[in-house]
Each structure stands twice: as C-alpha cells, then as structure tokens.
Amino acid sequence: MTDNVEDKLIKVISPIFQITAICISVACITFALFKGLSALHIHEKSPQIEIVTPKTVKELGGFPNEVTTGLYIHEFQKFDIVNNDFLFSGIVWFLFNPGIISLETLKKFEFDRGTIIERSEPNVTVLDKKLLARFPIRAHVAANLDYRYFPLDDHRIYFVLTHPLVSPENILLASSNQEFSVKPDVRTTGWQKIDITVISGYGESTLDIHDERKTLQYPSIVFSIDYARHGTRYVISILLPLLLIFYLTLFTFSFGDTSSRTSISLSTGSITAILAYRFVIENLSPNTGYFMLSDYLFFLFLGGSFLVFFTNIIDAFAINIPIVYKKFIIILLHTIVITTSIYLFIFW
C-alpha cells in the first residue's frame, strides 16, 4: 500500500515545485512591470513642419512679419486617449501689428485633424502699440496616437494650429513654450501631464509632385502635451487574469496518470477562458490595425496554454511522458514568459 502511494507521488509533479516556479516567475514579471511603468514610452511622430532657419528665410525672400501666437487650454470636455477623442475649450490669442494683417483675416485660423465647433468674437486690447486679440474657442481634435505599448503607453498629443489663408512669405506665426499653457486643475482622468512643447514654422501641401510651383505653404504652430498613464488599472485588468489562467493550466501537470481526463478538461477550459477573455481585452484596448503589447501578452499565454494542452493529450493517449520532461516543459514555459515579459516591458 505504501509503495503504491510512493509510486503515485513519483509520477506527479510536486505542488511545492510548481509554487516555487510561480513565485520566481511572478517576482521577475513584477520587476519588469515596475521598470516598464517607471519609464516614459512616447512613440508619436511629430507633424511635418518646416522650421524657419536663415536658409529658409532666404528662400522665402526675406524676413517675414511675425505674429506672436499663443494657446490656453481651459478645460477638456472630453479627454479620451483610448478612443482618440478630444474636445477642449480655451483661448487662441495673437499679438500683432494691425498694419501687416487684418483682424478679419487673422481670425480664420484652423486646427489640423480637428474642427473648431465654436469661435466667439475676439476680445481686442492694445498692448505695447500692438493689438492683442483673444479668441475664445471650443474645438474637437483627433490626434495621431501610437498605441503600440498599450496598456503601458504614454502619449504626446499634438494640437497643430494653421492659417491656410496666409503665406509664410508675408506672415509667420511665432510661438514658444511661454505662450502655451494648460489650466493647472484641468481634469484628465487617468493621465498626468508631464511636459509641453511648442514648435513654430510653416507647413506645406503638395498639389502636384511634379511641379513645385503648385506647393502651398502656410504658417503653422505645433503645440504638444506629454501625458503619462497614471495608475495600473488597465495593465492589471489585462495581465492578472491571463497570468492566473496560465498558472492554473500548469497545475494540470500535478494531477497524475489517474486524472488525465481532469488534466485535459482543465487545460481545455483554460484555453477557452483565455479566448473568451480576448473580448474583454478588445473592449479595453484602442481600435488599431497593428499589434499592441496587450496582443503579444495574449498570444504568449494562449500559446503556453496550448503547449500544456497538447502535452496532456500526448501523455494521456500516446506515450507516457516522464516527469523530468514535464518539469522541463514547466521551466521552459516560465522562462519564455519571464524573458518575453522583460523584453516587452523594458527593452521593446
């Protein structure tokens, strides 16, 4: 009787071995996740804009007149980075010499990838022999966001102010960080403002690639805000269930030969659970046409669960896989999960 019990124990993988491997795996993944959360991951490409240099000044035919331009964001009525939807109210202001451009022309500014929903009449005052015109606006903007690192992503949101009715040969919109500000208590739930940047110059629209004379140029300013994801809600909601299901799948190796049907049923259930959880991940994730970090994590744990499932199938219906090989598979899977997590969270 004692010999039979010992034989059964030899043929199953000890839960202590499994728990030890899981603890090491969790510690390594937690470390990699902490490093990933601590770093700033911004992959957005800057909009195309030609910066004014001595060379471009010469090409423009001399020094154009400058109009100091600023943007003040008072409030975000909608701040949805996941769905790339931004609605804000604020003030666009210009400090200019009325002899070089009229107020009527100046007020016809636009935002790239956006629509100005409301544009109130300007509040005009005289400042240092110039006119200061402040336009209260309400604008809807869609940014060109890069979600590759979701759910550990950080973002740089660009607000590109342009004036298509003015040529940079005559007028340039000049601005700097000093002329761009965001109200300190503006609400951006789940996101923390890190930095702001302003680049002024001019943009180009090529109407005919074979004829440079048909290229339109217009003054342009790029206002950008860096936002870091604040909190771990998304990453925990995605990563933790996948980890729990995967670790449960590995425990099917500890059931022994007499419970082969149970092992197969549990590993099948784990695969089904991961596939079903894909719908939850889809609801949390941005809608993109490329793979994100969350997709790689999903396929990582799905592939690992399939390997456990096929191992249980072979062990039950083909050949009796020795315990040493099962332990090797467990160690191999933990190693793959750890190294992939470190790569994705830190080096990707």
How do beta strands 180-182 and 65-80 pair? parallel
Per-residue pLDDT of the chain (348 residues; tens, 9 = 90+): 444 444 444 567 889 999 999 999 999 999 999 999 999 999 999 998 988 776 776 666 667 889 999 999 999 999 999 999 999 999 999 999 998 999 999 999 999 999 999 999 999 999 988 999 999 999 999 999 999 999 999 999 999 999 988 888 888 899 999 999 999 999 999 999 999 999 999 998 888 787 777 788 899 999 999 999 998 999 999 999 999 999 999 999 988 655 678 889 999 999 999 999 999 999 999 999 999 999 999 999 999 999 999 999 998 888 888 999 999 999 999 999 999 999 999 998
95 with 71, same domain: the answer is yes
User: Which pLDDT tens digit goes with each residue over 72-115?
Assistant: 999 999 999 999 999 999 999 999 999 899 999 999 999 999 99
Rounded CA gap, 171 and 343, in Å?
Answer: 49
Are 153 and 147 spatial neighbours (Cβ–Cβ below 8 Å)? yes
Q: Is residue 192 part of a domain?
A: yes
176 with 83, same domain: the answer is yes
Q: Is residue 243 part of a domain?
A: yes
107 with 137, same domain: the answer is yes
Q: Is residue 270 part of a domain?
A: yes
Rounded CA gap, 42 and 144, in Å?
Answer: 12
Secondary structure (3-state) at 1: coil
286 with 340, same domain: the answer is yes
CA 127 to centroid of chain Cα atoms:
42
Q: Which amino acid is at 40?
A: L
22 with 163, same domain: the answer is no
286 with 225, same domain: the answer is no
The neighbour count for residue 167, using CB atoms within 10 Å, is 16
> How far apart are the two ends of the chain, measured CA to CA in Å?
55
Rounded CA gap, 69 and 93, in Å?
Answer: 6
How many domains are there within the chain?
Answer: 2
Are 5 and 318 spatial neighbours (Cβ–Cβ below 8 Å)? no
Question: Which positions ≥6 away from 50 have C-beta within 8 Å?
Answer: 56, 201, 202, 203, 204
Per-residue pLDDT, 281: 97
Are 124 and 93 spatial neighbours (Cβ–Cβ below 8 Å)? no
Are 246 and 305 spatial neighbours (Cβ–Cβ below 8 Å)? yes
- Least Cα distance to 32 among 44, 24, 42 occurs for 24
Q: Is residue 43 part of a domain?
A: no
Reported pTM: 0.89
Which DSSP category does 347 fall into?
A: I
Are 142 and 113 spatial neighbours (Cβ–Cβ below 8 Å)? yes
222 with 336, same domain: the answer is no
Print the domain residue range for 28.
2-38+233-347
Per-residue pLDDT, 206: 81
Per-residue pLDDT, 2: 46
